[in-house]
Amino acid sequence: MSSVQSGPALDEAKFNAFIGQMLSDLGGASSIAMVRMGDALGFYKELYEKGPMTSDELAKSARVDERYLREWLSNQAASNYLTYDAASSTFSLPPEQAMIFANEESPVYMMGGFDLMAALLDNQPKVQAAFKSGKGVAWGDQAGCMFCAVARFFRPGYLNHLVGTWLPALDGVVDKLKRGARVADVGCGHGWSTVLMAKAFPKSQFIGYDFHPGSIENARAHAESHGVSSNARFEVGLAKDYPGKDFDLVTCFDCLHDMGDPAGAAAHIRQSLKPDGTWMIVEPMAGDTLQQNMNPVGRLYYAASTMICLPTSRSQEVGAALGAQAGEARLREVIEKGGFSKVRRATETPFNMILEARP
């Protein structure tokens, strides 16, 4: 390919490789709408449950127009999301892809991620204006169903790790929960984390706090549908002034970096705990430098941070704007400023770090 610009000469190999990356990125971007339609219309679930089908068979089973479906299936096969068998003209969902698109219990179920990407696009005009003003975009003013997308995105990680791995990594916490403890889940959102803990530890009492009334309504509905209303309740409350004291455990799931005054929240959490209480902070996985975060996970989190986390923090008092890639060192500063003397990384996943803070 010949150069199309003046100035320094192009490295042809690097240029062609970058064009390949751009084609791949555009293909991924086009998948947002395609995958979300496949989810909404039940195509992945049909293939997951019934096995390989022709476009005619799937159209009848899913009750959709075959011609539209055939084009969608072709895109999915070209994307390596589905497998196409030319001999039988059938499309199938391989078990590996099913973990991403169809199995909601999978730790890597990513439909919430596609919903989140759509919400980022909806949010662009508001955040773009904030670039000029330096102001924030309040959580309750985010475009689309950002709250639904975020809840769906984080649920698989909580479902597969919270009770089995994260809580056991904390010093003595599981024994307290089994005996009966008081727990505050601060920034609970739609309440999936609270509900999962309440189901696992019926002798303990859980209170979920969030500053968004709509999310609290959804959390209450989830508690009711999952049968934990007797030991889990939800209230509107800020991280800096939620009511209650003498908690054995306070949890914050993927929300400390979103807060306007995370150090103020840490101080309030400190005084709400018992002297031997524990604060569990689940935050996005990140290194302490940009270089450490220049990877696929960091790429996603920096985008989400630009479009969601920073605008949310900037909309609140102080507006610390830690960002989703704050890193452990910066988080430790905030936690220790709130009065905690012992902070350690209890465990981690490719997507999250789990910190334990003690007075």
- One domain for residues 157 and 241: yes
CATH number at residue 245: 3.40.50.150
* Phi, then psi, of 356 in degrees rounded to 5: -115, 125
Q: Which distant-in-sequence residues (6+ apart) come within 8 Å of 12 by Cβ?
A: 1
Asked, for residue 140, whether it belongs to a domain, the answer is yes
- One domain for residues 85 and 155: no
Q: Say if CB 218 and CB 190 are below 8 A apart.
A: yes
Which tokens go with 15?
């240029």
Burial of 239 from C-beta contacts in 10 A (0-12 / 13-18 / 19+)? buried
Residue 330: CA atoms inside 13 Å, Cβ hemisphere, count? 18
Residues (pLDDT < 50) of the chain are: 1-2
- One domain for residues 49 and 149: no
Q: What is the pLDDT of residue 1?
A: 45
Q: What is the pLDDT of residue 2?
A: 47
Q: Which distant-in-sequence residues (6+ apart) come within 8 Å of 42 by Cβ?
A: 62
Q: Which of 49, 68, 101 is the last residue of a domain?
A: 101
SS3 content of the chain, % helix, strand, coil (to 5): 55, 15, 30
- One domain for residues 45 and 67: yes
**Residue 33, domain extent:** 29-101
Asked, for residue 57, whether it belongs to a domain, the answer is yes
Asked, for residue 43, whether it belongs to a domain, the answer is yes
Which tokens go with 47?
């293939």
Q: What is the pLDDT of residue 134?
A: 96
Please tell me what DSSP assigns to residue 145: S
Q: What is the pLDDT of residue 143?
A: 80
Of 200, 198, 208, give the one whose Cα is nearest residue 230. 198
Q: Which of 47, 70, 101 is the last residue of a domain?
A: 101
- One domain for residues 83 and 159: no
**Tens digit of each residue's pLDDT (9 = 90 or more) over 248-269:** 999 999 999 999 999 999 999 9
CATH number at residue 38: 1.10.10.10
Q: Say if CB 61 and CB 81 are below 8 A apart.
A: no
- One domain for residues 181 and 246: yes
Asked, for residue 181, whether it belongs to a domain, the answer is yes
Helix 66-78 × helix 12-40 angle, to 10° = 140
**Tens digit of each residue's pLDDT (9 = 90 or more) over 19-70:** 999 999 999 999 999 999 999 999 999 999 999 999 999 999 999 999 999 9
Q: What is the pLDDT of residue 6?
A: 65
Q: What is the pLDDT of residue 144?
A: 72
Q: Say if CB 83 and CB 92 are below 8 A apart.
A: yes
- One domain for residues 162 and 261: yes
Instruction: Give the torsion sign (CA, 236, 242, 245, 248).
Output: positive
Distance CA 97, CA 199 (A): 29
Asked, for residue 61, whether it belongs to a domain, the answer is yes
- As for how many domains the chain has, the answer is 2
- One domain for residues 86 and 197: no
- One domain for residues 151 and 69: no
Asked, for residue 15, whether it belongs to a domain, the answer is no
